[in-house]
Chain A
């Protein structure tokens, strides 16, 4: 990984500063998704091992199975994971059902202040109930849906000329979703460098959460709201309001016009593949994928540009939150070691290294550093995106809510059944039923 050696020397100095007064060394297992950031965390954690004497083990599950398997693990009271870097939406269920250890006292005792972390990540990853000072996790990995584009293609004079002729404006980063679709349409089926390329890669996966993350990312900026701000769980007119309908219609139109063949079931890894192989001009994906593009032989070295989710028709601009907080599993017998890890991980020096190695730190000391925007080509886009995030329901019933939206969205966008209005009306009905079952309605 990037500058692993430098990191290692820095680690030693931190190690020396901290006293290693553990009663005994333990085998601590950390559970997360199997992806690039996890490999970086393995490297980073070696310092913790050296310092604490604990041995770290890792259980990484690929994204499509991550929620399924880890929630199964939590729900079956499994002792496998001492530390869980669980998805942001799990927080409600894990807090209410006692899967996670509440961290308030621990934070207070160790001088860890949530105000030191990016506000959106504290709300998104740590709090339950939302907007109350009850913390169940330490923000570990900031993530948000954004877009990448082929800068090298956008800079080709012949393409710039052709685009200007067709749309009457310059080929550049889109400011609105309408512009984004124009660009995607422009590239769809076009010959670039002797290869047929396509417009955009977007999320369409059915099995876990893919299409919901993608569609929501668009819907928020079109005026979708989860509930009446004055009346919790009142969804009629918000989930299925005219803006939301227009947003879902837009998502389907984008899917129909501008995606590569066989894009009916794609999520993060399919997006990475499509972009790296030079199949698409635009790609929707979480920020975690960006460091991988910079180091890629095909699209690295300045060929890739990044932009924040564009604005909707009324100028609203939001982006779907990703990312996770790190929590202590209440069934684990290694809770002390797990807390020790969190204490170590929260240190500014460790967080700085975390960012350097490709981990998206949520610590303000890191992201507000004047050098931060220049530290990576995507750093500014990441900061701007994190400023406009919204997350899916983090309710204890999030999995049920998510299943309903997966089905409704996929049925409409990919399978082409019914209308957008029908899909969203159905979604309101499904979600209402879920909240009724929960006794919240």
Chain B
């Protein structure tokens, strides 16, 4: 079909002469094509970033535009790094990050492994499993508060049905001990398919002949799993962890709808904490410094991780 188009277009094509006059040079065209994108990104990402850095050195408050602006140097940074509340939300974020990654990697890989057994209808079931990840976290998170209601909620009811405890005796988002797990459960439910899909791609990328060769060498299934499957899937798995790690470090919508940071401040992740500082307390200068610290953290961690990932890939 493409040949057809080309021959048709060829017949109608203008002469080479016109091309030289009317056509732009590749170089010019390249810039015309790229510049709008770069400009928009500069305007909406880089310019704000620089502005944030500037604001972070002041005591500016966005709700008091007529107050006098004062330069405070690095004092905002100093206050943030010595504030125990901020360390609490860093800890909450770390708990959330680590456990969601652990569960998602374990369940996601297992599912991928099972789906790779190519049973009948695996495509259909894979699509069904994938659904939660594409949905709006805010809308879904909001509905999960209903599922988590003691007594009337489906989650409590199912847990009660399986374990025999009274469904009104525990409150997933109201109890200090359970709340951190309530957000881990929903995030795992939503994002396990993401890890699963990437692992599945990894498993499918392993050529059959490697296993066949191992079989000839009489390597046990167990040994094949650890010496072939795992190393071959590892780069994929690490990529999945990178994506999930960055996303969950930024996590806001799902958790804000689920627990709003409560009870107390047990599930107040850094993004929620930052939102309170910036848009509820309106400490703009202070929260700008906070934002920069978060950005540097995620960027730094991601860069280190990417280096490690590249090493694994090289092997």
Contacts and interface: CB of A to CB of B under 8 A. Distances in A.
Interface in A402-420: 403, 407, 410-412, 414-417
Nearest to B174: A264
Nearest to B153: A262
Nearest to B85: A407
B281 A97 contact: no
A35 to B, nearest CB: 20
A261 B151 contact: yes
B171 A437 contact: no
Given A262-B171, A265-B174, A410-B262, 20 more contacts: A68-B279, A75-B62, A75-B282, A97-B66, A98-B66, A206-B264, A261-B171, A262-B151, A264-B263, A265-B173, A396-B64, A399-B282, A400-B280, A400-B283, A403-B276, A407-B264, A414-B174, A414-B262, A417-B264, A437-B283
A399 B281 contact: yes
22 contacts: A75-B282, A97-B65, A207-B260, A207-B262, A261-B150, A262-B149, A262-B150, A262-B171, A264-B262, A264-B263, A265-B260, A399-B282, A400-B280, A400-B282, A403-B281, A410-B262, A410-B264, A414-B174, A414-B263, A416-B176, A417-B176, A417-B264
A415 B262 CA distance: 8
Interface in B229-286: 260-266, 276, 279-283
A403 B150 contact: no
Contact of A415 (B62, B63, B264, B280): B264
A71 B176 contact: no
Q: Per DSSP, are chain B's interface residues mostly helix, strand or loop, or mixed?
A: loop
B159 to A, nearest CB: 14
A196 to B, nearest CB: 9
Contacts of A262: 149-151, 168, 171, 174
A396 B62 CA distance: 13
A432 to B, nearest CB: 14
A263 interface: yes
A265 B260 CA distance: 10
Contacts of B283: 400, 437
Contacts of A265: 173-174, 260, 262-263
A414 B169 CA distance: 16
Interface of A: 68, 71-72, 74-75, 93, 96-98, 206-207, 261-265, 396-397, 399-400, 403, 407, 410-412, 414-417, 437
Contacts of B265: 407, 410-411, 415
Nearest to A434: B281
B167 to A, nearest CB: 9
B175 interface: yes
A206 B65 contact: no
Nearest to B79: A433
Contacts of B59: 437
B263 A75 contact: no
